[in-house]
Amino acid sequence: MLGWLRPFMGRLWAAPAKGLLALGIHPNAVTIIGTIGVVFGACFFFPKGGINLFWGVMVITFFVVTDMLDGTMARLSGKTSRLGAYLDSTLDRVADAAIFGALVWTFRVDEPATALAALLCLTLGSFVPYARAKAESLGIDAKGGIAERGDRLVIGLTATGFVGLGLPLWVLTVVLYLLAAAALITVVQRTLKVMKDNAKDRTIPALPSASEGGTS
C-alpha cells in the first residue's frame, strides 16, 4: 500500500547514504545497528507505558528508517549481496517481534484484549513474509497485498504513539485487531496468487540436494 513511496524515499536517503559510505561504514552494519535500536526502543520504553509509548515510537522510528538507508547504501556502493538480503529480511523479523512482543508484555495484565491484539499482529504478520518467501522459492512472484510490513508498522506505531500522548487505549486495540485482520487478508491474497500460477504451471523448481544443504 505504501510501496509507491519507496522511489521517493530512496532519493531522499541518497545523501546520508553517500555520507555513511564515505566514512567507510558497511550497509550490513547499518542494518544490524538499526535492528538493535528498534529492539531497545520497544523493550526499554513500551513496558513503562504512558508517555513512554510515544518516546519508544520516536526511537523506533529513527532506527526503522535504516531499513531504507541500508538498501540505498548497498545500491550506491555496489555492495548488494545475498548475505545483505538475508540479514535485512531476518532482522526485520527480529524488529517486528520486539515491537509487537513488547506491546504484548506491556498490556498482558491490565489490558488482555490489547495484548491479544498485539499477539495476533505478531503471529499473523509473520506469515506474510513467509508466504512470499515460500512462493518465490517455487518460482512465483507473490509480493504485494493489502498490508505489507511497512504499512502495518506505520499504522501500528502511529496508533501506539498517539496513545502514549493521551489517546484512549481502545484506539490502539482496534487498530491492532484491524492490522491482524489485514495481515491475514494479505496472506490469503498471496495464497490465491500461488493457486492461480499453479493452475498454469504445476512444475516445482529443482531444490538443493541433501549434499548442498537440503531443506527443512
Active site amino acids? 92
CA distance 169 to 162: 9
Cell match 495481515: residue? 183
For 185-203, what is the HEC assignment?
Answer: HHHHHHHHHHHHHHHHCCC
Give 34's DSSP letter. Answer: H
Give 132's DSSP letter. Answer: H
- Which 3 state secondary structure label does DSSP give 11? helix
Give 167's DSSP letter. Answer: -
DSSP string, 75-130: HHHT---HHHHHHHHHHHHHHHHHHHHHHHHHHTTT-HHHHHHHHHHHHHHHHHHH
Name the residue among 170, 56, 155 with its Cα closest to residue 114: 170
Exposure string over 177-199, b if 16+ CB within 10 A, otherwise e? bbbbebbbebbebbeebbeebee
Q: At what angle do helices 27-40 and 82-107 cross, to 10 degrees?
A: 0
